Amino acid sequence: MSDSLINAQQGEPEGTPSAPPAGSQPSAESRPEWLPEKFWVENRPAYELLAKSYGELETKFRSKEDDLRTKLIDELSSEALAARPEAPDKYELPAMEGLDVQELAQHPMTKWWSEFAFENGFDNETFQKGIGMYLEARMGDIPNPEVEMKVLGDNAAARTEAVGLWVGKTFEGEEVEAIERLCTTAAGVKVMERVMKLMNDSGDESVLRPGMAEEVTEADINKMMQDRRYWSPSDRDPAYIKKVESFFQKKYGS
């Protein structure tokens, strides 16, 4: 046997893989079970088709969602409008003790609220709740007569009666109405009592009633001259004397 280091026979080294038979082809990649056939093109996934199909599905789903939302809103709106009166002036005002319904109906706030409620599809119950909340808020701002009378003390009735008589004698028309609004509180009554005192001290009502000086009669002047502030040496009031003389001059002066 030869110990030659070379192999004279032509052959392939041991362990070399054999070539595939002539005419055979590599096996194709298998389609995953989760991937539909329409997305398997030329033995590979068609990602472009898959993305396009997903986008179309998403658009269709969103469209159906919008349609469902619109339908639901329309149904809810129809239900709300079904309970709404046929016109803004058809809302009914709530019945509350001491409430003048006719006066409330003419109030600008009531007109605005009825139109707002109608435009927003409110039913009559919701409309009345809104009116009730408004009235409760206003009532909180209105003075409580019983509380105000307690503030004036035990002789509150006599004090308010005296102010009322004096106001009715001294003022007229809208002036009286304005003072009556002022006297809805104890503080207002006290203000008018102070005015009364100032008037009694000065004896000059012309500061409250413009033009009164021109209306002073001879009897008025004679009465003023009988006041101790005019004739009494101990009680003479120069300011009062000047007013009497001023009235006298206007009445009889040339």
List, for residues 74-125, the tens digit of each pLDDT value.
666 666 677 788 899 889 888 777 778 888 888 888 899 999 988 888 888 8
8 A C-beta contact, residue 243 and residue 204: yes
217 closest CA partner among 165, 254, 171, 252: 252
Q: Is the dihedral of CA 184, 186, 188, 190 positive or negative?
A: positive
Please list the residues that pair with 134 across neighbouring strands: none
Q: Which two tokens stand for residue 148?
A: 């105000």
Query: What's the predicted TM-score (pTM) here?
Result: 0.36
8 A C-beta contact, residue 203 and residue 226: no
Residue 27: pLDDT band by 50, 70, 90 thresholds?
very low
- Burial of 104 (C-beta count, 10 Å sphere; 0-12/13-18/19+): middle
